[in-house]
Amino acid sequence: MKAIDIIEKKQKNEILEYDEIQYMVNSYVKGKINDKTMSDFLWLIYNNGLTLDETVALTDVMIKSGEEIDLSSLKMPVVDKHSTGGVGDKITLIVSPIVAAAGVCVPKMSGRGLGLTGGTVDKLESIPGYKLNLNRKQFIEALSKVGCAVISQSEKIAVADKKIYALRNEIGAVDSIPLIASSIMSKKIASGSDIIIIDLKVGKGAFMKNVKEATKLAKTMVKIGKAYNKKVICTLSDMNIPLGRNIGNALEVREAMDFFAGKHDKRLYELSVYISSLMISSAKNISFRRAKSIVLNLLENGYAKTKFYQWIKYQGGDLTKLKEKAKKYIVVSDKTGYVNSIDSNVIAKLVFDLGAGRKKKTDGIDYACGVILNKQLGEKVNKGEILGVIYYNKKVEDMENIFKDAFNIEKRKRQVKKIIISTVK
């Protein structure tokens, strides 16, 4: 078997056999074919696509390139939650303890942020002492005792995906539905859960910009799940607007703490309750309405809050020492009206430039910097009123005007669209 023959076959848009896909992936991981040859192969997939069978084959090869986690020893229902990433997305910090408080186990392996999208690992690293690198035994023990645990993505899971994703990122072949679907699902399936809930972000602050393509991706991931007898549910949620009011690593942890103290941003609350209810209803095989009732009760009686602090403490985190040291720059509105949109991409770029993000995985970041939105979608703001606060340790040129420009303030209030677009099962 030769790489050139497989590439020529894909150039003709012919369907590849399992062993041909396996040869390309495994040869690349082992260094038998170079970046140039693999780039040619990936570009053909990017341009010509893959059939569902080919996508499942690619997923399977990437799963088998690394270890698989066995969660069968856990004595409670298990559900994994994945987000495709967005601006201000601290949903994992909120839903994991809510769902665990309902008696459902939530094992979570998360990644670092790259580019404009923040990573859950970075948020948790802003908590001094928090242990992200638990071994498999410690991970299972944490899940058994607490019900939820969030650790950094194992380097031994879906090894091929890491190398292929890095190359895709380098050559600009990222936004391909079969490549995205196989990348996400290889890691999720290898992580051991039989039920996977995916929060698929759509809009300016997400890698999926429109609902049509996001729905296609969701359907592909659901079909891959069925091929492995896994229950996969994808919720499409709006990411044209930042999620919540705090954007930045430590700031987002602080907003999660505020959430459990009863201080809720409306859109963040709506999505958190929805995703939690979906996870519980799927894991316990009960109606969504019944699951939502459980979620609301857990928030009201404080059990979810107790679970949040139990989880962070069990993994060594000290929330009293959160890395929040930064200067504050208050931004006031220069007009009166209603906030009809907030460009999440502009906010994300500003926070990135302040130092909260990284271009390469090895880059250092500033955990304390970011922004707080004092005014959110649909709210009225008066001239001279505080629009938001920039937290910085290094100034970004013209950061005040950049922040202001993200807000579209108009005299007439537009109808606020719901954050949840649709759910694909």
| Residue 264 known to be catalytic | no
| Spatial distance between the Cα atoms of 226 and 208, rounded to a whole number of angstroms | 23
**Cα–Cα–Cα angle for 395, 401, 407, rounded to 5 degrees:** 125
CB contact burial 313-350 (16+ within 10 A = b; e otherwise): eebebebeebebebeebebebeeebbbbbbbbbbbbbb
Distance CA 98, CA 306 (A): 10
Strands 80-83 and 106-110: unpaired
Q: Do domains 80-158+173-320 and 324-410 have the same CATH topology?
A: no
Q: Which two tokens stand for residue 180?
A: 């995205």
Strand-pair category, 106-110 with 370-373:
unpaired
Tokens standing for residue 327? 């200067």
**pLDDT at residue 205, as a whole number:** 84
Distance of alpha carbon 416 from its chain centroid, rounded? 24
Query: Does 168 qualify as catalytic in the annotation?
Result: yes
User: What are 80's strand-pairing partners?
Assistant: 196
Catalytic residue among 108, 123, 168, 201: 168
Give the pLDDT confidence score for residue 361 in this predicted structure: 63
Q: Which amino acid is at 163?
A: K
Q: What is the dihedral of CA 280, 281, 286, 291, to 10 degrees?
A: 70
CA distance 360 to 379: 37
Gap between the Cα atoms of 46 and 131, Å rounded: 38
What is the average pLDDT score of the chain? 94
Residues 6 or more apart whose Cβ sits within 8 Å of residue 371:
246, 247, 248, 251, 347, 350, 351, 354, 388, 389, 390, 391, 403
What phi-psi label fits residue 31: left (phi over 0), alpha (psi between -120 and 50 degrees) or beta? Answer: left
Q: Is 370 left (phi over 0), alpha (psi -120 to 50) or beta?
A: left
Quote the pTM value. 0.94
Burial class (CB in 10 A: 0-12, 13-18, 19+), 83: buried
Which string of b and e fits 272-308 if b means at least 16 CB within 10 Å? bbbbbbbbbbbbbeeeeeebbebbeebbeeebbbebb
CA distances from residue 55 to 58, 191, 227, 293, 370 in whole angstroms, order as listed: 5, 19, 11, 38, 38
Catalytic residue among 83, 152, 182, 183: 183
Give the C-alpha separation, 27 to 51, whole Å: 22
Which of 60, 65, 81, 82 is an active site residue? 82
Four-point Cα dihedral 370, 376, 377, 382, nearest 10: -120
pLDDT digits (tens, 9 = 90+) for 79-137: 999 998 889 999 999 999 999 999 999 999 887 655 556 689 899 999 999 999 999 89
Alpha helices in 321-379 (DSSP H): 344-351
Is 40 catalytic? The answer is: no
Active-site annotation holds for 183: yes
Q: For 356, which DSSP code?
A: I
Q: What are the residue ranges in the chain where pLDDT is below 70? A: 112-118, 360-362
- Whether 82 is a known active-site residue: answer yes
310: three-class secondary structure by DSSP = helix
What integer pLDDT is reported at residue 292 of this predicted model? 98
Catalytic residue among 10, 162, 187, 307: 187
Beta strands in 70-183 (DSSP E): 80-83, 106-110, 148-152
Answer whether 208's CB lies under 8 Å from 202's CB: yes
Name the CATH topology of 324-410: Aldehyde Oxidoreductase; domain 3 (3.90.1170)
Q: Which residue in the list 122, 161, 238, 265 is annotated as catalytic?
A: 161
SS3 134: coil
| Per CATH, domain 80-158+173-320 is 3.40.50.1100 | no
Question: Using an 8 Å Cβ cutoff, are 266 and 377 in contact?
Answer: no
Domain boundaries, the chain: 3-48, 80-158+173-320, 324-410
pLDDT at residue 116, rounded to an integer: 57
